[in-house]
Structure 1
Amino acid sequence: MEIAELQDCAERVFADDDQTTVLLVTAFKTGDPLVLTEEPAAYTPSAPSDLFLVKLVVGPGNPGPADAPSTSPGIGIEIWLPPKSAWNGRLHNIGGLGGNDGGAHSLPSQVGWFYAALVAGHEGAVSASTDSGHTPTNGAWGMSPDGTPATQLWIDFAHRAMHEMAVKTKALATAFYGAPPRYCYYEGSSTGGRHGYRLAQQYPEDYDGIIANLPTVDFTRWYLAHLYRELVIERDLGGVPLTEEQLDLVSNAAIRSGDVVGGEHLGYILDNEASRYDPTRDPDVLCTSDGGNNSSQHCVTKAQAEAVNKLWYGVTSDGSVPNPEVDAGVGVTLNDRLWYGLTRGTSLYVAYFTKRDPRMREILRANKDSGDSPSADFAALVLQDPTIAGPSFLNATGNGQSRWRGMSYADMAELYKRGADMESAFAGISSDNPDLSAFQARGGKLLSWHGWNDESIPVQTSMRYYDRVVEAMGGLQPVQSFYKLYLVPGGGHMSPHGTSNESANPPILTPSQLYEHLVDWVEHGIEPERIEVTSPAPTPDSITHPIYPYPRKAVYVGGDPRIAASYTSS
Structure 2
Amino acid sequence: MKSTRGARSRRAVVQCLPAEQELGENTMTSARYRRCNRWHFLAAGLVLAGLTACGGSGDAGSALGLVLPPAPPPTDTSGAQDLACDDSMKTGFAPDANTSVLLARTFRKGDPLLLSGTATPATPIAQSDLCLVKLIVGPGHAGPSDAPSTTAGIGIEIWLPAKVAWNRKIHLIGGTGWAGGTQTSPNAISFSPLASPWDVAGVEGAVSATTDTGHTMSNGDFLMNADGTVNTVGWSEFSERGIHDMTLKTKALAKAYYGADAKYTYWHGSSTGGRQGLKQAQAYPGDFDGIIASSPAIHWTRFNTATLYGQLITQRDLGGVAMSIAQVNAVSAAALNACDMVGGKHLGYLIDPSQCAYDPQQDPQVLCTGSGGSNTDATTCVSSAQARSLVKVWYGPTRDGSVPAPATDTGYAVGLAGPRLWYGYPRGATLATSPFGGGAILGPVNPQTLATDTIALIRQDPTFATPSFLNATGNGADGWKNLTYADLGATFDRGIALQAAFGNINTDNPDLTAFQARGGKLITFVGQSDDLIPHQGVLQYYTAVANQLNAALKSPPADTFAAANSFYKLYLVPGMGHYGTNGTVNADANPPVPSEALKYAMLTDWVEKGIEPGRVDVTSAATSTAPAKSQPFCVYPLKATYQSGDAFAAASYACR
TM-score (norm 1): 0.94
C-alpha separation in 2, matches of 1:7 and 1:26: 6
Where in structure 2 are the equivalents of 1:31-70 lying within 5 Å?
A: 31-40=110-119, 43-70=122-149
Contact residue 556 and residue 566 of structure 1 kept, 8 A: yes
Where in structure 2 are the equivalents of 1:409-420 lying within 5 Å?
A: 409-420=485-496
* SS of equivalent residue, structure 1 residue 84: coil
Q: Is 1:519 paired with 2:604? A: yes
Q: Could you say if the C-alpha distance between residues 536 and 50 of structure 1 is closer, same or farther in structure 2, counting changes exceeding 3 Å?
A: farther
Select 1:490's aligned residue among 575, 596, 609. 575
C-alpha separation in 2, matches of 1:205 and 1:8: 32
Select 1:467's aligned residue among 518, 524, 543. 543
1:112: how far off?
A: 1.6
Aligned length: 561
C-alpha separation in 2, matches of 1:381 and 1:139: 8
1:46: how far off?
A: 2.6
C-alpha separation in 1, matches of 2:611 and 2:228: 51
Partner of 2:429: 346
1:64: how far off?
A: 1.7
C-alpha separation in 2, matches of 1:92 and 1:104: 20
Q: Is 1:282 paired with 2:368? A: no
Partner of 1:293: 374
C-alpha separation in 2, matches of 1:60 and 1:416: 32
Partner of 1:134: 215
Q: Is 1:311 paired with 2:396? A: no
Contact residue 314 and residue 320 of structure 2 kept, 8 A: yes
Matched letter for residue 110 of structure 1 = A
Structure 2 unpaired stretches of 5+: 1-79, 551-559
Contact residue 275 and residue 328 of structure 1 kept, 8 A: yes
* SS of equivalent residue, structure 2 residue 114: coil
1:49: how far off?
A: 2.6
C-alpha separation in 2, matches of 1:546 and 1:106: 43
Contact residue 314 and residue 444 of structure 2 kept, 8 A: no
1:349: how far off?
A: 2.8
Partner of 2:507: 431
Select 1:269's aligned residue among 343, 346, 350. 350
Q: Is 1:441 paired with 2:441? A: no
* SS of equivalent residue, structure 2 residue 632: strand
Q: Is 1:383 paired with 2:466? A: no
Partner of 1:155: 236
Q: Is 1:501 paired with 2:586? A: yes
Moved more, 450-459 or 238-247: 238-247
C-alpha separation in 1, matches of 2:122 and 2:404: 46
Partner of 1:109: 187
1:385: how far off?
A: 0.6
1:40: how far off?
A: 4.7
* SS of equivalent residue, structure 1 residue 473: helix
C-alpha separation in 2, matches of 1:168 and 1:9: 17
1:374: how far off?
A: 2.8
Contact residue 35 and residue 41 of structure 1 kept, 8 A: no
* SS of equivalent residue, structure 1 residue 339: coil
Matched letter for residue 164 of structure 2 = S
Contact residue 371 and residue 391 of structure 1 kept, 8 A: no
Percent identity over paired residues:
49
* SS of equivalent residue, structure 1 residue 5: coil
Partner of 2:150: 71
C-alpha separation in 2, matches of 1:117 and 1:285: 50
Contact residue 621 and residue 627 of structure 2 kept, 8 A: no
Structure 1 unpaired stretches of 5+: 355-359
Matched letter for residue 182 of structure 1 = K
Contact residue 9 and residue 176 of structure 1 kept, 8 A: no
1:16: how far off?
A: 5.2
* SS of equivalent residue, structure 1 residue 420: helix
Q: Could you say if the C-alpha distance between residues 69 and 97 of structure 1 is closer, same or farther in structure 2, counting changes exceeding 3 Å?
A: same
1:39: how far off?
A: 3.5
Select 1:451's aligned residue among 517, 522, 527. 527
Partner of 1:554: 640
C-alpha separation in 1, matches of 2:421 and 2:288: 34
1:459: how far off?
A: 0.5
Moved more, 491-500 or 368-377: 368-377
RMSD between aligned alpha carbons?
Answer: 2.2
C-alpha separation in 2, matches of 1:29 and 1:459: 43
Where in structure 2 are the equivalents of 1:201-280 lying within 5 Å?
A: 201-280=282-361
Q: Could you say if the C-alpha distance between residues 244 and 495 of structure 1 is closer, same or farther in structure 2, counting changes exceeding 3 Å?
A: farther
C-alpha separation in 1, matches of 2:365 and 2:167: 58
Q: Write out per-residue CA displacement over residues 239-290 of structure 1, whole angstroms, 9 at most, x where no aligned residue.
A: 2221111111011100000111000001111121110000111111111111
Contact residue 379 and residue 415 of structure 1 kept, 8 A: yes
Contact residue 51 and residue 80 of structure 1 kept, 8 A: yes
C-alpha separation in 2, matches of 1:312 and 1:275: 11
Contact residue 69 and residue 137 of structure 1 kept, 8 A: no
C-alpha separation in 2, matches of 1:448 and 1:255: 26
Q: Write out per-residue CA displacement over residues 386-406 of structure 1, whole angstroms, 9 at most, x where no aligned residue.
A: 111111211111111111101
Q: Write out per-residue CA displacement over residues 324-346 of structure 1, whole angstroms, 9 at most, x where no aligned residue.
A: 01001111122231100111111
Q: Write out per-residue CA displacement over residues 151-193 of structure 1, whole angstroms, 9 at most, x where no aligned residue.
A: 1111000100110011000111111111111111001010110
Moved more, 206-215 or 383-392: 383-392
Matched letter for residue 573 of structure 2 = V
1:28: how far off?
A: 2.0
Q: Could you say if the C-alpha distance between residues 239 and 46 of structure 1 is closer, same or farther in structure 2, counting changes exceeding 3 Å?
A: farther
Select 2:94's aligned residue among 7, 12, 15. 15
C-alpha separation in 2, matches of 1:369 and 1:421: 29
Q: Is 1:81 paired with 2:150? A: no
TM-score (norm 2): 0.82
Contact residue 239 and residue 503 of structure 2 kept, 8 A: yes
* SS of equivalent residue, structure 2 residue 146: coil
Q: Is 1:190 paired with 2:271? A: yes
Of the two structures, which has the highest relative contact order with CA contacts closer than 8 Å and spacing of 6 or more? 2
* SS of equivalent residue, structure 1 residue 235: helix
C-alpha separation in 2, matches of 1:137 and 1:561: 43
C-alpha separation in 1, matches of 2:92 and 2:564: 38
C-alpha separation in 1, matches of 2:92 and 2:280: 23
* SS of equivalent residue, structure 1 residue 21: strand
1:7: how far off?
A: 4.1
Matched letter for residue 102 of structure 1 = G
1:43: how far off?
A: 5.0
C-alpha separation in 2, matches of 1:279 and 1:230: 19
Select 1:334's aligned residue among 397, 416, 419. 416
Contact residue 287 and residue 299 of structure 1 kept, 8 A: yes
Select 1:125's aligned residue among 199, 203, 206. 206
Moved more, 235-244 or 516-525: 235-244
Q: Write out per-residue CA displacement over residues 368-416 of structure 1, whole angstroms, 9 at most, x where no aligned residue.
A: 6467833111111101111111112111111111111011001111111
Moved more, 385-394 or 192-201: 385-394
* SS of equivalent residue, structure 1 residue 85: coil
Matched letter for residue 51 of structure 1 = L
Q: Could you say if the C-alpha distance between residues 348 and 470 of structure 1 is closer, same or farther in structure 2, counting changes exceeding 3 Å?
A: same
C-alpha separation in 2, matches of 1:370 and 1:453: 22
Partner of 1:357: none
